[in-house]
Amino acid sequence: MFLRGIVVIADGSTVPYDLLVERVCNERVVQQVYAGPRGDFSMQLGSRTQVAIDASADVEIPNTSTPDGLNQGVPRQQLLTCELRTTAPGFRMSIVRLMDLTVTAGNVDVGRITVDRVTKVDGATVNAAAYRAPKDAIKAYEKGMSAARDGKSADAEKYFEKAVQIYPKYSNAWYELGVVRQTVNDRDGAKAAFAEAAQTSKKFLAPYLKLAEMAFVAKDWAEVLRLTEHIIEVDPLNHTDVSGYVLDLDPMNAGEAYFYNAMANYRLGKIDEAEKSALKAEHVDLMTKFPELHLLLAQIWSEKGNYAGAIGELETYMELVPGAKDEEPLRTTLAKLQELNGTAGAKRE
């Protein structure tokens, strides 16, 4: 069973070759494909005769074949919490809920998905370095993107390396080189490529976010703070034009930057700054990509004596992550906060 569709650009321009289509279930990316030159894409949801396994996330899709071997489609409930997200540098994210589709046919067509370009900021300076890349570098870059779309990581890495060798200021190629190295678990190589991309263009925020994520995993809080402060200074919520392709962060990625910044500030003892960034992250994290954000706010407000606020954030986290491994300790903490809140209320009276 295949899920098909086509992505079109609202202004009629050509679909970029790095437009990514993701299937997201329960806020977890379970499948990724790149749209073709005409915007068409296809992803396999299941098999005609056997249980299908989504290799990208080990998500099992129940077999729905009839005794005669005809596929009846993925059950509707399987798609209740799933959606398609289309993303590309310089374009706003587009989201399609799969629960609204008819899923009884062998092929499910989501139809046309229209995406809009990010609105440019008045007075912003565009870095046109990418446009000055020699034709051979651009050709190598495009071959790398094609190989990456086909899952050929080794070939993609080779082409991106060739592109930056020809044109060392090719920030897009450095960034994609970092991404493909991440797919083969070359952490050091990925970090080096992202660092080159960031150095090439100070307003190209995507590699800064990648580096911040890596520092976050390593618990290098000072580095997380340095990188995210740079992102926030450029202000991802304003969609700053950068690197020729208008490569900026959409609101969802901005939420990630603010979350990392909040955690780094908190770990470094800057509780007021942590609260400020955490509230901004909560404001833009509409898809609740970071449930831990609510734990952080609960901790901050508990320390500040705002027990009612801490209770609300803790309850939100437990709703978003039912059956969490730390559920019992959290329930104990919740009970203590409720007791403290009651005591504080009685004193005010």
What CATH number corresponds to the domain at position 95?
A: 2.60.40.10
Q: What's the CA gap between 146 and 33, in Å, rounded?
A: 11
One domain, residues 224 and 138: yes
- Considering 113-122, 217-226, 255-264, the range whose residues carry the highest mean pLDDT is 217-226
Per-residue pLDDT, 119: 53
One domain, residues 57 and 139: no
One domain, residues 232 and 305: no
Domain final residue, candidates 207, 231, 253: 253
One domain, residues 51 and 143: no
One domain, residues 29 and 110: yes
Domain final residue, candidates 115, 137, 157: 115
One domain, residues 175 and 65: no
CATH number of the domain where residue 157 is located: 1.25.40.10
Token output for 191: 């970090």
Domain final residue, candidates 115, 140, 165: 115
Per-chain mean pLDDT for the chain: 77
55 has a pLDDT exceeding 80 = no
Boundaries of domain holding 82: 2-115
Token output for 198: 């960031």
Number of domains in the chain: 3
3-class SS of residue 349: coil
Mean pLDDT of 63-90: 57
One domain, residues 104 and 147: no
One domain, residues 138 and 249: yes
Token output for 79: 């798609």
Q: Does a structural domain hold residue 105? A: yes
Banded model confidence at residue 79, pLDDT cuts 50, 70, 90: low
Is residue 129 within 8 Å of residue 171, measured between CB atoms? Answer: yes
- Considering 106-110, 115-119, 222-226, the range whose residues carry the highest mean pLDDT is 222-226
One domain, residues 102 and 12: yes
Q: Does a structural domain hold residue 281? A: no
Token output for 272: 């007021």
One domain, residues 244 and 197: yes
Range list of H helices, the chain = 135-149, 153-166, 171-183, 187-200, 205-217, 221-234, 251-267, 271-284, 292-303, 307-320, 327-348
Q: What's the CA gap between 335 and 191, in Å, rounded?
A: 43
What's at 279, amino acid-wise?
A: L
One domain, residues 146 and 178: yes
Per-residue pLDDT, 15: 80
> What is the residue whose two structure tokens read 């290098």?
220
Q: Does a structural domain hold residue 274? A: no
Mean pLDDT of 72-84: 61
pLDDT tens digits, residue range 238-279? 443 333 333 345 545 678 889 999 999 999 999 999 999 998
Q: What's the CA gap between 112 and 318, in Å, rounded?
A: 37
Q: Does a structural domain hold residue 267? A: no
Mean pLDDT of 161-179: 93
To the question of pTM greater than 0.85 for the whole model, the response is no
Q: Does a structural domain hold residue 120? A: no
One domain, residues 349 and 305: yes
Q: Tell which wins on pLDDT, 123 or 228.
A: 228
Q: Does a structural domain hold residue 279? A: no
Q: Does a structural domain hold residue 269? A: no
